[in-house]
Chain A
Amino acid sequence: MHPAYSVILFTTSSGAGYGLLFWLACAVLFGGVAPTGALASAALFIALALITVGLLSSTLHLGRPERAWRAVTQWQTSWLSREGVLALATYVPAGLWFFAQWLWPGIWWPLAMVLALLSAIGAMVTVWATGMIYQSLPTIRAWHEPMVAPIYILLALTTGAVVMAVLLAAFGAPWSTMAILSALLLIIAAAAKWIYWRRIDTAPRDWTIESATGLGRIGRVRPLEPPHTQANFVMREMGYAVARKHATVIRGLALGAGFVAPALLLALAASLPSGGPAAFIATIAALSVATGVLAERWLFFAEARHVVTLYYGADRA
């Protein structure tokens, strides 16, 4: 599948934003972090900025972005529509909570707790819907996999946790627990991706050009003449195979730079007192995670093979 950069940026940026929103809500609900104040304001601003940049970026790959509002109408059947509805719905508690930072700093705490809880739930459900857009497509075997949506949630939680650790360290709040939690999540996410890659590598690829054309009744089928001389939309969008030969190297880089190295860095730095040096190390870890997750998301598209490529000569899908 063609890796559209706008969609890669959208899923990674929004994922981190929703993850951060989730962890901020958890910190407020269970960790004694004040629902208003400098830390909450900064975390909410960054979370909403990451989410909004991602959502705006996702409209860039549309042919008719001005009609994007129509995408909230078909939630009964379409996971893409559900994602849009859930994303907008999550803005309500998160947005109210954000504006309470200035308009109502002494916010009645039960209301703050409800807004935090709704924000956390909305964040996770939205990311789940994003994952289901891919997981629900039987035409792409690497995506039609029960691990796909859970990994989307896991990576959102992981990237959000790392950003939360940076913020806690930067604001001088106790950050060690979040740093350890981030390191653990990074290791779990790396293991999940490794298992996912093993699964897609060993999955039976039993759709063939013979079954796609129905000509297996005659015998082995091979393409003789293509229908057109230049690549068409189907080949451009679904037939992307540019970097598959580098996939193993990129997988290694994504796991090493994106997960293992920052996990070690955060685990080692967790004993540092909250403050400048800790925030600096956590920021380096966060940048490393961002690179790794972008590579992971790029591979998610580039490695996915679509059934339609069989008509254009792919032996199996």
Chain B
Amino acid sequence: MMDFILPLYSNGFLSPEGNLFFAITMGFAFGFILERTGFTRAQMIADTFYFKNIAVPKIMGVTIITATTWFILFAWMGWIDLHALFTPKTYVWPYLVGGLLFGLGMVMAGYCPGTAVAGLGTGKSDALVFLLGLFAGALGYFLLYPFVKDFASSGDLGVLKLHDLFGGNEYTSYILTIALETGIILFLMLLQKLTNKGEK
């Protein structure tokens, strides 16, 4: 077995305190980029769903393409252990229902938690109201937890990667990811053209 250097933290090259300092640094970069790309505007996120402006899926798609390209390159060089990266487990039913609800909340508010935090930093008063709503939602979930507990862990497939479904290895997942993201961006560009025909 080869000795990996990356990820630094899980391989013991970074102390927990160092990692917390790093958390602020990377969060800073994340917030900075969210503001620079316009993600902190509720209007921009909402525009996505009316096909007025599809910068949001474009940025997300290119983000995934870029990050996975770095991963595959570094894994190929033997520099990073992809299995040590934290990957959320797959719970089919709660993710499906949670996703639909998330979409509803997003088109209501025009924010997701990360963009609202950066948005608050830029002075958006509605982002502050959205963040207060998050507290209310968490309280609601805690109170209802005894009733939704079983549903929340239904359809448990563990850590499931794309290549576990289609066979192959990380490279298969990588190619599928690039194809999906590129396809989604192109499809949305086409839809945008069709729906905005006649409009400027």
Do the two chains bind?
Answer: no
